[in-house]
Structure 1
Amino acid sequence: MAAESSPPGDFDIVIFGASGFTGRYVLREALKFLSTPTSPLKTLALAGRNPSKISEALAWAASPYSPPPIPIFYADVSDSSSLLTLFERTRLVLNCVGPFRLYGDPVVAACAEAGTDYLDICGEPEFMERMEVEYHERAKMTGSLVISACGFDSIPAEMGFIFHSRQWESPAAANRVEAYVVLESERSIVGNIGTYMSAVLGVANVSSLQELRRSRPKRARPQIPSPPFKPRSIKRQKSLGL
């Protein structure tokens, strides 16, 4: 645990949920930057409801890097004061605690209240859109930047879209982008319980997402003439590598 005498605002990043399946890998990547002299990341802290498990995760992740001492704090989504007290001391929170539908709201609320920036690995549309509705005004007032979908199921699609959009020259413009993901591995591909629960809860509560979207004012979007959309299956041609 970190000493209570640590000065406020002394952390660049707090990884919340660093002992979870994904949090451990996020921690390992963060240590790469922390161990690089030219990296802008200078101070890092870890937080979660079980500091002893976080210590184990840190020992697992730190072995190749020999990082400086990293403080570990208790923080629990059921204890809003523990979140707010810690988040007021950092510039950015990386939230790895899911499913976000169950555990994400208090973390976003605390960041919006503290004026702390927030990133997560969420891929749950209903959660992301609900957070925008509930905390946009408060985050805008405090200067908190809240960004979701920084995980595997979102970043490749974003990169593909950006690349695709740059291939068009005005006045030409894409009217639709379809994306799909292919997973390949020499080993068995397995998921973890958090991802499984997120998928199950997302399907089970799809009506909540529809209701949320119906309740929001429609955004003005440019109308680009296009042929009627006909859903079709996408097949991969392995012989061509496509």
Structure 2
Amino acid sequence: MATSQKPFQLVVFGASGFTGQFVTEEVAREQADPQRTSPLPWAVAGRSRENLQRVLERAAHKLGRPTLLSEVGIIICDITNPASLDEMAKQTSIVLNCVGPYRFYGEPVVKACIENGASCIDICGEPQFLELMYWKYNQKAAEKGVYIIGSCGFDSIPADLGVIYTKSKMNGTLTGVESFLSVHSGPEGMCIHDGTWKSAIYGFGDKQSLQKLRNSANLKPLPIVGPKLKRRWPICYCRALSSYSIPFLGADVSVVKRTQRYLYENFQNSPVQYAAYVAVGGIASVIKLMFAGLFFLIFVRFGLGRQLLIKFPRFFSFGYFSKQGPTQKQMEASSFTMTFFGEGYNEHSGGDKNKLSVKICTQVKGPEAGYVATPIAMVQAAMTLLNETSNLPKSGGVFTPGAAFCHTKLIDRLNRHGIEFSVISSTEV
């Protein structure tokens, strides 16, 4: 990673936003870690000094660290002011960008970081933005020796590193993986801040742009090793989890495919086929989600419909999204499990790649996904970027988490911070 004498190692941009406040708390925890052997100079950045101070005061109170306000720098900058973004990027080694939707606000930050020698990590779950940044800025970032790493939150570190972890634990060649996300909530249910809802609305409302981008890229399809992974019906029953499931519509499939392409093209690794699903429980949950999905897909097609979806997130999402986001109690009672079912072959298959002879089941478990696990994943990705320079890709560029961190100890870091990777079973057929 490009290094220079800058006053800060990390800057949390958008620290006073809903997700940014939790990322700020997580950096403060990392700074105070008793195992830390070196200082971690860092800052928060955003439009309002008062709001940034309020976030630091809240973090100081929550963590019992009254000196936090005097220890953390404050940088005033605005996404609409490129010069202020340049000033922010000049002062830090890594920007943790929490300002979304990224399709509207992400590119100026990427550009400022590359031009001023700072790496950038975001928590984007928007495939169009992630893929566009690769095509526009990969070469420029490589020339500057900086790392632009997208989707370093719940989207899509558990999925991307989960596939890499599953492959590393497989006694043979992994050919295909299906993941099933299960979200567990307490008596007060679950809720997601409407920032994620807005990103989904804009993404689905403009999905033809993503298709155009992929068509213009004109990439050769990756070779399929082993039998082709069968796609499940939009609603199907998973016996292993005793739950109905639906396809996961986030960035995970896009991110994992990009990682597998990178590993194949740069290390000649056998590419893994991947499909992602969400376990939704019983038939009542399926019906509720069907109605919510139907409303969403109808309304997202036209301008007035998108405005209504944005204005009334709780109504149109059947309570899953709100402008207020989850309460502290809801977050404390929530967790996630992502289960990976992998298949492949080994030397006992007689060299027949179409003869599946090994099955493996792994899991990634963690706390509440959006505002507890996401800050942990983002901050540990940043710490890995700071501390494992020799294990990163040799030159900079625009990377997925799996591409950037496949040879690092990020999984070990996550395990120590409550996002746990484990093998459930491994069998030879």
Q: Which band: TM-score by shorter chain?
A: 0.7 to 0.9
On the 8 A contact 2:128/2:210 being kept in 1, the answer is: yes
CA contact (8 A) 1:33 1:41 kept: no
Paired AA for residue 130 in structure 1: L
Residue 73 of structure 1 deviates from its aligned partner by 1.3
User: Tell me, what secondary structure is at the counterpart of 1:92?
Assistant: strand
Output one character per residue of 1:18-59: Cα deviation in whole Å (capped at 9) or x when no partner: 011111110001001112354255201110112211111111
Amino acid at match of 2:21: R
Change (3 A) 1:234 1:96: farther
For 2:224 and 2:81, how far apart are their aligned partners in 1? 46
Q: Residue type matched to 1:60 in 2? A: R
Corresponding residue for residue 47 of structure 2: 49
**SS of corresponding position for 2:178:** coil
Q: 1:18 to 1:41 in 2, by over 3 A?
A: farther
Alignment of 1:136-175 (within 5 A): 136-169=138-171, 172-175=172-175
Query: What's the offset of the Cα at 1:182?
Result: 1.3
| Paired position in structure 2 for 1:16 | 13
What is the letter of the counterpart of residue 219 of structure 2? K
Match of 1:126 in 2: 128
In the superposition, the TM-score normalised over structure 2's length comes to: 0.51
> Aligned-residue CA RMSD in angstroms?
2.0
Confirm or deny: 8 A CA contact 1:119 1:148 kept in the other structure. Answer: yes
* Cα distance in 1 for residues equivalent to 2:169 and 2:40: 38
SS in 1 for 2:184: coil
- State the partner residue of 2:215: 214
Amino acid at match of 1:200: I
Alignment correspondent of 1:3: none
What number of residue pairs does the alignment pair up? 231
Q: Residue 56 of structure 1 aligns to which amino acid in structure 2? A: R
Under a length normalisation based on structure 1, what TM-score does the superposition of the two structures give?
Answer: 0.88
- Are the counterparts in 1 of residues 176 and 229 from structure 2 also a CA contact under 8 Å? no
Is the contact between residue 32 and residue 65 of structure 1 (CA under 8 Å) also seen in structure 2? no
Q: Could you say if the C-alpha distance between residues 188 and 214 of structure 1 is closer, same or farther in structure 2, counting changes exceeding 3 Å?
A: same
| Counterpart for residue 56 of structure 2 | 58
Distance 1:234 1:12, change over 3 A: farther
Task: After superposition, give the CA deviation of every residue in 1:193-239 in whole Å (9 maximum; x if it has no partner).
Answer: 2111111111111111111011113146343131462423253327x
The 3 A distance-change label for structure 1 pair 124 and 234 is farther
Deviation per residue, 1:87-133 (Å, 9 max, x gap): 11110000000111111010011111112111011111100000111
- The answer as to whether partners of 1:12 and 1:41 remain within 8 angstroms in 2 is no
Residue aligning to 1:94: 96
Deviates more, 1:15-24 or 1:67-76: 67-76
Secondary structure at 1:179 match in 2: strand
For 2:108, give the aligned amino acid.
P
Identify if the C-alpha distance between structure 1 residues 223 and 80 changes in structure 2 by more than 3 Å, giving closer, same or farther. Answer: same
What residue number does 2:105 align with?
103
Partner secondary structure for residue 36 of structure 1: coil
- Return the alpha-carbon distance in structure 2 between the equivalents of residues 107 and 138 of structure 1: 14
Aligned to 2:176: 176
TM-fit CA distance, 1:136 = 1.2
Q: Which residue of 1 aligns with 2:242?
A: 237
Unaligned 5+ segments in structure 2 are: 244-336, 340-429
Compare 64-73 and 131-140 and name the one that shifted more: 64-73
What is the identity, as a one-letter code, of the residue corresponding to 1:17?
Answer: G
Contact kept? 1:100, 1:124, Cα under 8 Å: yes
| 1:156-199 Cα deviation digits (max 9, x unpaired) | 21242123212323xx4222222221111112211112111111
- Give the match's secondary structure for 2:93: strand
Return the alpha-carbon distance in structure 2 between the equivalents of residues 160 and 38 of structure 1: 26
Shift of residue 143, structure 1, vs aligned partner: 1.1
Which one has more relative contact order, counting CA pairs under 8 Å at least 6 apart? 2
Q: Greater strand percent: which structure?
A: 2
- Percent of paired sites with the same residue: 35
Pick which of 172-181 and 85-94 moved more.
Answer: 172-181
Separation in 2, partners of 1:153, 1:229? 24
